[in-house]
Structure 1
Amino acid sequence: MTHYARRALVASPTPPAQAAAAALADAADWVGIDDQPDLVVALGGDGFMLQTLHLMLERRSQPPVFGMNLGTVGFLMNEWRPHGLDERLARAKPFMVTPLAMTATGIDGRTHSLPAINEVSLLRETRQTAKLEVTVNDRIVLPELACDGLLAATPAGSTAYNLSAQGPILPLGSALIALTPISAFRPRRWRGAILPDKARIGIRVLNPGKRPVSAVADQREIRDVASVAIAMDRARELTLLFDPEHALDDRITMEQFVA
């Protein structure tokens, strides 16, 4: 059992999350998020959890995050309960989440580097179909993919946009990346690939002036890209904490049986 002495409490601006934060105000001697906590409790939905995790990535050290759901789906969250927090934190099971590193080069030559916890997605900006050249470890595997877009998803993000695009669910800890097309037109039979997480993925936009493409790392978008490089960033691993009876790996497994 683990004891966390310095805890920070963060909450989504929504009324339910703010009410929950008020209910927990006296549950601990909370420190500020900038005061080097050794644990963060996040109240909100999955979107707020992603915001919190991205905030952790910007810091020198990344304390574990225990989320409680005050949103809609709450796939990355535990159940909201105002009582027994100390016991829950002591018993919580840690799960390591490795983000993707996206390096996008624009048609203007500028380079942008962003992390992605769920997925990196490339999306057409106009009615024109995107045309992409795809490489894996510097080898061209698709000379021309005509599609609405393409995404690379982590195991933690494989049940999000990736699943909606008919991509595979990846078990947590599987050391895999899902590469999933979005409405692929050509090659017609290509439905995506499952790659080892050591793979380096390169995507070059063919004719970006006529067929502009944006690159999105989770919720942050870079428009008019010429090329994108994607790889796992093991130097910036994050830790999520879950109740033993509500573990993330079990939730990901059960998603494969949802009708």
Structure 2
Amino acid sequence: MSTPPTLAFVASDRPEAQLARQTLEARYGGVAETEADVIVALGGDGFMLEVLHRNLRAKTPVYGMNRGSVGFLMNDYDEAGLIERIAAAGRAVIHPLQMDAWGESGQVQSGLAINEVSLLRQTRQSAKLKISIDGRVRMEELACDGCLVATPAGSTAYNLSAHGPIIPLDARMLALTPISAFRPRRWRGALLPQSSKVRFDVLEADKRPVSATADSFEVRRVVCVEVHERRDVELAMLFDAGRSFEERVLSEQFAS
């Protein structure tokens, strides 16, 4: 008989998540995140991203249970049979985006994004962006509220709300999606190969300041942002049998 995996239970600040952590630890025991075979995250999608970021180097797989609101990245909450559910779970491996953002002083700040890198206007003035792909200018000027680059895992989050495409996890593509494009008004974005290197140059940066965000890491008043996928970084999420991440993404495309 194989040895059951050691589990670390972590929870968001929500009272129901904290109560679930106490209940599950009393039932199954628990170790520190650094000592666990599997981390059980109790909360919502935002907390799942937080836990994944926290364990980038450890590469410990994360099994989420929904004690938040939406819970697209989470499994259903059930206290019974947790060891068996984890043993039977499927694994979804995702790769984050690297964001390198240059400020007005020329200093660069970098961050990783599991969902998306987004650029957003900071004032009432629309942002004006020049977009280059792999060193070639593809759009001289996009007037907009912002623009984002999304991973397949993040394509159902902010990207979908901005009317971007849903991308299957194994599609090996990225979504480039404008946010409230004004000129060109009918531009809906592009699908890019996963190897693409995207560069945004902020036009009229003094008059039209722009911020850049990699998930929750924000850099204000940027003048240039470069984005590419980090294939050397792997993050693993576990999903119940029959409820794979791929199935959720497919189902989302037929949701009303």
User: Common fold, TM-score beyond 0.5?
Assistant: yes
Confirm whether residue 173 of structure 1 aligns to residue 170 of structure 2: yes
Confirm whether residue 28 of structure 1 aligns to residue 28 of structure 2: yes
Distance 1:53 1:2 in 2: 27
User: What is the CA deviation profile of residues 39-94 of structure 1, one whole-angstrom value per residue up to 9, with x for unaligned ones?
Assistant: 1110000011011011012x3x2110000000111000000000101100110100
Distance 1:141 1:3 in 2: 54
Q: Which residue is equivalent to 2:41? A: 42
Q: Which residue is equivalent to 1:56? A: 55
| 1:121/1:149 contact within 8 Å kept | yes
| CA drift at 1:2 | 8.2
| 2:41/2:64 contact within 8 Å kept | yes
Q: Which residue is equivalent to 1:249? A: 246
Q: Which runs of 5+ in 2 are unaligned?
A: none
Structure 1 segments (4+ residues) deviating >6 Å: none
User: What is the CA deviation profile of residues 6-32 of structure 1, one whole-angstrom value per residue up to 9, with x for unaligned ones?
Assistant: 321111111000111111013334111
- The alignment covers a number of residue pairs equal to 256
Confirm whether residue 8 of structure 1 aligns to residue 5 of structure 2: no
Distance 1:189 1:245 in 2: 39
Give TM-score scaled by structure 1 length: 0.96
Q: Which residue is equivalent to 1:126? A: 123
| CA drift at 1:235 | 1.4
Q: Which runs of 5+ in 1 are unaligned?
A: none
Q: Which residue is equivalent to 2:114? A: 117
In the alignment, which of 179, 184, 197 is matched to residue 182 of structure 1? 179
1:235-246 aligned within 5 A: 235-246=232-243
Counterpart AA for 1:56: N
Give TM-score scaled by structure 2 length: 0.97
Distance 2:127 2:73 in 1: 32
Distance 2:84 2:151 in 1: 30
Distance 2:208 2:254 in 1: 38
User: What is the CA deviation profile of residues 139-161 of structure 1, one whole-angstrom value per residue up to 9, with x for unaligned ones?
Assistant: 00001111110000011110110
1:168-247 aligned within 5 A: 168-247=165-244
Distance 1:4 1:250 in 2: 27
User: What is the CA deviation profile of residues 196-223 of structure 1, one whole-angstrom value per residue up to 9, with x for unaligned ones?
Assistant: 1000000000111111000011112110
| CA drift at 1:238 | 0.2
Distance 1:13 1:210 in 2: 39
Distance 1:171 1:128 in 2: 35
Q: Which residue is equivalent to 2:17? A: 17
1:64-143 aligned within 5 A: 64-143=61-140
| 2:115/2:151 contact within 8 Å kept | yes
Counterpart AA for 2:21: A
Distance 1:193 1:141 in 2: 11
Question: What's the % identity of the aligned pairs?
Answer: 52
Distance 2:250 2:40 in 1: 25
| 1:2/1:89 contact within 8 Å kept | no
Q: Which residue is equivalent to 1:148? A: 145
